[in-house]
Structure 1
Amino acid sequence: MLDAKIGVSQNWDPILATDEAIAEATDDLKSNPKIILLFTTIHYEKNNGFRKILDRIYQKFAKDTPLIGGTVAGFISSKGCFVRGISLAIIYSDNLEVITAVGKNNKRSPESAVMQVSNTIKPLLVNSKYDNNIMLQIISGGKIPFIPFLKQGRVVHSTIIGEIESKGIGLTLKLLQKGVGREEEILKLMVQEFPDANIISLSSMDDEKMERNFQFHNNKVLTDVIVTACILTNYELDLKSEISLEDIGIEFDITRIGNDRRTIKELDKIPAKEAFIKKMNWPKSYFDENIYRKVFFYPLVHELNGQKISSVAGLFLGQNLYSTYQIESDKLSIMSYSGKKLYDTVSNDMQQIDVNQLDFLFLVECGIRLEAMGRKIFAIREKIVNRLAGKPFLLVYPAGEGVYSKKILKYGNETYNRVCFYKPKKVLT
């Protein structure tokens, strides 16, 4: 049996918040957990709040209890919807083995970060009695690039300075680890290393300002890393990923793009920003530091191997658009979504879940969707709670998501993803 207990708190004090979350999650948990998942909002950053949270957890649990987690924009549990606070999923089962690993400097070198993870996990897989496993991976998400002596921000109006910053972004990734999280590169490398695994990935973030983020591994507070938990089990694992976008009839040919496949220079043979403004019919006054509040709702979409991949025009550098994910196509669409579409995605998926066999549901949904839903997010929670009828779940809102299952890789911004832990069909002795 898998026993998953969820605890949450909105207390501003990190120690009291941790105590409240632990108390809720351990009211009848008799044994030491196999793994703890910790997700908090950025609000505990000040005064060593994250350090205090981890210290408090390990005052309550054995020092060798595996823990991974990170900062997210918000989360949902049976207790409510939260954009500030701490959430814990404390998991126990006789049918679980857990290996955790850290890969450092994911923005500077995804290859090195993934190899660090692989070198830790692979040797320990040999001795496991379980063939089934899932990699739960938390990646340090994107941070707004910073180039010394130049303007830092989402919009640079000067064509000359924008071009300089476009060329300098690669350096900021390697030297300062500011820029995209390089999630798609990391996921592809993970699939190469673990082709038979299941993977569910999320990118940690702050409160959608994309300025800083943190990852947790055991008793350490980290940043610019990958933290991974390989959970080996005989539980049946059911993963799903969906993109909930609506076609609004805006398409481009990408006629010039940088070698990084992120810096879009020309669309339909005209400067990319000009083409974007023309097709979207947006006034130039939109293009200020709050532009992200608008472009979030109109993602860039391309197709790769029959899968739609969505990203965000995260920066406007002169006439260049900078995408959060690599554009691996010469065709690009702009799509949109509605609150109804987002709700229907969750509602329809809930009907596909076998509640009788379910022991734990972990969901990952883009933080942009949390903002898009507004108060309607409570309807999402109500739908999940009513469908699961008391079964434990935790839904977190990060900055980017990915799923690999049955040899199919899906990733992007603004997606819905989940993994069901179903009761084993056979029990190993």
Structure 2
Amino acid sequence: MGDELKAGVGLSRKWDAREAGREVTLSTLKQLDGENPKFFLLFSTIHYEKYGGFEELLNGVWDVLPEGTPLIGGTVAGFMNNYGCYTRGVAALAVSYPNMDVAIGIGNNTKREPKKAGRTASKMIKNKLGGSKFKNKFLFVVISGPTLPQSEKFGTMKVITDKKLSKLLSKLTNISTRVNQVGLGRESEVLNGLCEEMMEYALLGISSNDDNRYINHYQFYNDEVHRNSVVTLGMSTDLKIEVKTSYGLIPTGKKAKITGTENWNYIIKSLDNKPAVDVFFEKTGIAKEIINDENIHRITPFLPIGCYHKDGILHPYPVASFLGEYILVGHDIVSDEIEFFLATGESLIGAVDESLSSLPGEPRFMIISSCAGRLETLGKMVYTVKERTMEKISCPFLTLYGLGEERKEPLKPPHLLQESFNIAGFF
């Protein structure tokens, strides 16, 4: 193996799962000039669930990929790379570099026992990388994102207007999450378990997704397909690693005190001692009647709420569901005060420029995690994001659009974010 770093991104848009697995792997490895990859990241849209299945997708990958290559990945709402922007297909990123030690780990039952799942994955990586001579450490993580409970009476529980049902719906969400593992993602707890003995690591991650229906999504670990799991790539290297985060959100100056929460702080019961739903519509100025099951996740990303963690990191929250008087958000509330924000297509694209401009030079390769809500909100303007990215850099990159974005700097706490744009650049 030569001393030169080689990175490649691959793509397939074939409908047949096995053929797509073969093509994406061949196109990725071709860019490594015959060198074996140190790792292989694989991400697909949900479509292969009905066109051969994800086991067949992985079978196609392993028809080509060298035996023993560490592989993790999962399903996302869409992705972007050097070739374009896609909401159907499969993409991969692989790197060959001698000054890099790699290990992978997995933890299961992330919605039922999130901290245990994170600790299990962490232990697998620490055991394998404990003797590495390289000082710079990085984790890339894929965590099972939230799913929406479904019932004959309430459907997918996106917009429930009957305020008498608030307590019942909150209780059903809690039970469904713990018992059936359908519901809240609890990714923050997974992250805390993963990082509690790995604080020296930088981290970037994505919460898996389907096509924004919040029903089924999957994680990949070597030749296995999982649900409700965390899969993690650990890396020790001499490469410099920069993690950058931006948002593109516009503060309105309107704020409210959180006066009631439950379900691991995912449900806001009251704001300023009034029903949370009433305060949301009062502060945003939009009419309740215009939001329904079909458009809620196209409207609320333009009107996120947000609060600041004690270390100063902004946590934005697009509303996931209106449950009677209650608001369900996509991850746990981290403060007792929220602020109301606005987003526009222009401001979201500006976040891309902000993160890319803050990089200290041209990376060797990049992994980017962003919010599926931004993908849906931007629509065709997402091609402008790709153009802006390619104007700033020429290295191989892979952008993933999921249900949450995980990020961490060395010796600082991890964060689960939404409505954010996050870069891990390797120099």
Q: TM-score range by the shorter chain?
A: over 0.9
The residue identity in structure 2 corresponding to 1:38 is: L
Tell me, what secondary structure is at the counterpart of 2:53? helix
Does residue 311 of structure 2 align to residue 308 of structure 1? no
**Which residue of 1 is the match for residue 340 of structure 2?**
334
Alpha-carbon separation, structure 1, partners of 2:121 and 2:376: 33
**Paired residues, number:** 420
* 8 Å CA contact 1:240, 1:419 repeated in 2: yes
**Which residue of 2 is the match for residue 375 of structure 1?**
380
Q: Determine which of 366, 372, 379 is the counterpart of 1:361.
A: 366
Alpha-carbon separation, structure 2, partners of 1:266 and 1:415: 26
- Name which of structure 1's ranges 312-321 and 216-225 shifts more when overlaid on structure 2: 312-321
* 8 Å CA contact 1:72, 1:397 repeated in 2: yes
For residues 63-110 of structure 1, give each alpha carbon's deviation from its aligned partner in whole angstroms, at most 9, with x where no partner exists: 311100011111111111111111011221111211111100111111
In structure 2, relative to structure 1, the CA distance for the partners of 1:377 and 1:150 (3 Å cut) is closer
Alpha-carbon separation, structure 1, partners of 2:263 and 2:78: 35
Q: Determine which of 192, 196, 207 is the counterpart of 1:192.
A: 196
Tell me, what secondary structure is at the counterpart of 1:345? helix
* 8 Å CA contact 2:188, 2:416 repeated in 1: yes
Q: Determine which of 390, 393, 397 is the counterpart of 1:385.
A: 390
For residues 316-355 of structure 1, give each alpha carbon's deviation from its aligned partner in whole angstroms, at most 9, with x where no partner exists: 1111111222223221122121121222221233233344
Alpha-carbon separation, structure 2, partners of 1:138 and 1:318: 32
Does residue 61 of structure 2 align to residue 57 of structure 1? yes
Q: Determine which of 31, 37, 41 is the counterpart of 1:33.
A: 37
**Which residue of 2 is the match for residue 325 of structure 1?**
331
For residues 37-82 of structure 1, give each alpha carbon's deviation from its aligned partner in whole angstroms, at most 9, with x where no partner exists: 0011111111442111110111112231110001111111111111
Shift of 1:144: 0.4
Q: Determine which of 69, 72, 78 is the counterpart of 1:68.
A: 72
**Which residue of 2 is the match for residue 161 of structure 1?**
165
Tell me, what secondary structure is at the counterpart of 2:364? strand
**Which residue of 2 is the match for residue 426 of structure 1?**
none
* 8 Å CA contact 1:146, 1:172 repeated in 2: no
In structure 2, relative to structure 1, the CA distance for the partners of 1:331 and 1:219 (3 Å cut) is same
In structure 2, relative to structure 1, the CA distance for the partners of 1:22 and 1:194 (3 Å cut) is same
Shift of 1:160: 3.0
**Which residue of 2 is the match for residue 263 of structure 1?**
267
Does residue 295 of structure 2 align to residue 253 of structure 1? no
In structure 2, relative to structure 1, the CA distance for the partners of 1:307 and 1:352 (3 Å cut) is closer
| Superposition pairs of residues 8-47 of structure 1, within 5 angstroms | 8-28=11-31, 29-47=33-51
The residue identity in structure 2 corresponding to 1:387 is: K
Shift of 1:256: 2.2
For residues 239-276 of structure 1, give each alpha carbon's deviation from its aligned partner in whole angstroms, at most 9, with x where no partner exists: 11222210123321222222632221111222111222
Shift of 1:150: 5.5
- Name which of structure 1's ranges 61-70 and 249-258 shifts more when overlaid on structure 2: 249-258
Alpha-carbon separation, structure 2, partners of 1:407 and 1:237: 14
* 8 Å CA contact 1:99, 1:121 repeated in 2: yes
Tell me, what secondary structure is at the counterpart of 1:63? coil
The residue identity in structure 1 corresponding to 2:216 is: R
Q: Where does structure 1 lack aligned partners over 5 or more consecutive residues?
A: 423-429
- Name which of structure 1's ranges 245-254 and 221-230 shifts more when overlaid on structure 2: 245-254
Shift of 1:278: 2.2
**RMSD of aligned C-alpha atoms?**
1.8
Report sequence identity in percent: 30
Alpha-carbon separation, structure 1, partners of 2:334 and 2:29: 46
Does residue 356 of structure 2 align to residue 350 of structure 1? yes
Tell me, what secondary structure is at the counterpart of 2:30? coil
Alpha-carbon separation, structure 2, partners of 1:37 and 1:346: 22
The residue identity in structure 2 corresponding to 1:11 is: K
For residues 377-417 of structure 1, give each alpha carbon's deviation from its aligned partner in whole angstroms, at most 9, with x where no partner exists: 2122122223223x211111111012111333443111111
Shift of 1:215: 0.5
